[in-house]
């Protein structure tokens, strides 16, 4: 089960946590498995969730620039990474497309019905230590202005904020107005590494809007997300007792 604190048309506990009931029904021990989303997916989903909730999404094009630390240890050989960009990460594009639509989908019985918008992803490994970035282009289901997009992103909160979970940032998404932000070195630690930073929100000549999202891939996209999952399960009294 993937968990992401992205509340859209239905509350997250009725969309994702209900998957635990199906797992428990199949597993006589009462246990279950909870997984993090892909480290780029969680950033993209958090940037898209407020827009999907407010305006609806018709189609999304995502181009990622992913840090070296996302490859784990020993990761990318130094001579491959130096003075280079690698336009391929095994199975990454498929994960982003599949998981984003699942996270922003809705529950139908015991399964998640994927969000209906189209999503195309291209991925690149870049010579940055930490901090994944995604250049996003979106077509909305209804018309909106740049200022309306910014307000939707700034005002977005979800269940972790409502429950005041320890690892949850007060603002899961922040909007930067500077023309050259976000940047990994300047913005990856926002919200103790748990906040997604969005900037460069502009009209687009092909789709409706373009924007750039950034998150800390080893905190928001990995360890911090796992801790937040556990805090959410504990707050909902869903941790197994044995």
The token duo for 84 is: 């280079």
State the DSSP code for 76: S
Specify the 3-state DSSP secondary structure of 77.
coil
Task: Say how far apart CA 35 and CA 104 lie, in whole Å.
Answer: 16
- Compute the C-alpha angle 199/216/145, nearest 5°: 20
- 212: β partners: 135, 199
Nearest Cα to Cα of residue 138 among 40, 51, 46, 43: 51
Task: Say how far apart CA 113 and CA 163 lie, in whole Å.
Answer: 26
According to DSSP, the β-strands at 173-175 and 196-203 are parallel
Q: Supply the residues annotated as catalytic.
A: 39, 132
Task: Say how far apart CA 86 and CA 201 lie, in whole Å.
Answer: 26
Nearest Cα to Cα of residue 94 among 135, 40, 56, 134: 40
Specify the 3-state DSSP secondary structure of 124.
coil
Task: Say how far apart CA 182 and CA 143 lie, in whole Å.
Answer: 25
């Amino acid at each position: 089960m993937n968990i992401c604190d992205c509340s859209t048309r239905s509350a997250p506990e009725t969309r994702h946590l209900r998957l635990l009931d199906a797992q428990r029904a199949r597993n006589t021990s009462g246990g279950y498995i909870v997984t993090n989303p892909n480290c780029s997916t969680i950033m993209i989903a958090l940037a898209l969730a407020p827009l999907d909730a407010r305006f609806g999404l018709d189609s999304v094009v995502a181009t990622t620039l992913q840090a070296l630390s996302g490859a784990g240890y020993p990761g990318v050989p130094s001579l491959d990474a130096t003075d280079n960009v690698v336009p391929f990460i095994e199975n990454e594009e498929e994960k982003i497309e599949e998981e984003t639509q699942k996270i922003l989908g809705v529950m139908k019985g015991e399964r998640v019905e994927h969000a209906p918008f189209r999503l195309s992803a291209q991925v690149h490994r870049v010579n940055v230590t930490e901090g994944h970035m995604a250049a996003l282009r979106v077509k909305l289901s209804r018309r909106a202005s740049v200022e309306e997009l910014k307000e939707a992103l700034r005002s977005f909160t979800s269940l972790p904020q409502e429950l005041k979970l320890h690892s949850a940032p007060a603002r899961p998404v922040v909007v930067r107005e500077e023309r050259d932000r976000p940047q990994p070195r300047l913005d990856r630690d926002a919200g103790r590494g748990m906040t997604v930073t969005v900037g460069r929100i502009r009209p687009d000549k092909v789709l409706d809007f373009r924007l750039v999202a950034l998150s800390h891939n080893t905190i928001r996209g990995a360890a911090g997300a796992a801790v937040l999952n556990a805090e959410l399960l504990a707050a909902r009294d869903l941790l197994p007792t044995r």
